[in-house]
């Protein structure tokens, strides 16, 4: 035995029932939408302002070294170095990576790779398996000199 498909009503819209106007069903949706927008605006206004400098950055003599990623969790981390002047002297190679630590040990640096600066900046990154109790910082090596950022902890 087969069951017939339900029939759809085709024709003019139904007249309003009782004392409700025809567009009454839209009013609750508009009210909910307005309330949600007010809640989002209030939350954005109460949120703390972002710091002037990103966390995990360090100022060097000729540039800035930064590490970005989900601190305290496994995910994609990137180390970026930007020179202040992108002149002809800015064409050299750097090795970029990260370093982790916890309450017991400070690990050896992990390297994302080596790359030549292009237009005064270079960015390298990869996935890092980080535990919630660990801190991380960015590392750059150039001509056997190592530069680091501040520690970022969850």
Asked if the structure places residue 138 within a domain, the reply is yes
Asked if the structure places residue 75 within a domain, the reply is yes
Query: Is 113 a residue whose pLDDT tops 90?
Result: yes
Higher-confidence residue: 76 or 71? 76
Query: Is 96 a residue whose pLDDT tops 60?
Result: yes
Asked if the structure places residue 47 within a domain, the reply is no
Q: Which domain holds residue 76?
A: 57-153
What is the Cα–Cα distance from 53 to 136, expressed in whole angstroms? 17
Asked if the structure places residue 11 within a domain, the reply is no
Q: Reduced to 3 states, what is the DSSP secondary structure of residue 139?
A: strand
Asked if the structure places residue 117 within a domain, the reply is yes
Domain count, the chain: 1
Where residue 66 sits, what CATH number does that domain have?
A: 2.60.40.3880
Q: Which of 109, 25, 26 is nearest to 67 (CA)?
A: 109
Asked if the structure places residue 28 within a domain, the reply is no
Task: Look at residue 40 in the predicted model and tell me its pLDDT.
Answer: 58
Asked if the structure places residue 135 within a domain, the reply is yes
Asked if the structure places residue 102 within a domain, the reply is yes
DSSP state of 118: B
Per-residue pLDDT reduced to its tens digit, 48-58: 444 444 567 88
What is the Cα–Cα distance from 69 to 66, expressed in whole angstroms? 10
Task: Look at residue 49 in the predicted model and tell me its pLDDT.
Answer: 47
């Amino acid at each position: 035995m087969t069951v017939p498909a339900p029939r759809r009503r085709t024709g003019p819209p139904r007249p309003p029932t009782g004392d409700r106007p025809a567009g009454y069903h839209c009013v609750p949706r508009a009210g909910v939408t307005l309330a949600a927008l007010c809640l989002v605006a209030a939350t954005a206004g109460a949120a703390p302002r972002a710091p002037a400098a990103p966390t995990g950055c360090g100022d060097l003599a000729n540039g800035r070294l930064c590490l970005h990623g989900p601190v305290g969790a496994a995910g994609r981390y990137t180390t970026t170095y930007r020179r202040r002047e992108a002149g002809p002297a800015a064409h050299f190679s750097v090795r970029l990576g990260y370093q982790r630590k916890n309450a017991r040990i400070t690990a050896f640096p992990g390297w994302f790779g080596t790359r030549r600066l292009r237009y005064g900046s270079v960015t390298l990154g990869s996935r890092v398996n980080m535990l919630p109790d660990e801190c991380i910082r960015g590392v750059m090596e150039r001509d056997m000199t190592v530069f680091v950022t501040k520690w970022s902890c969850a």
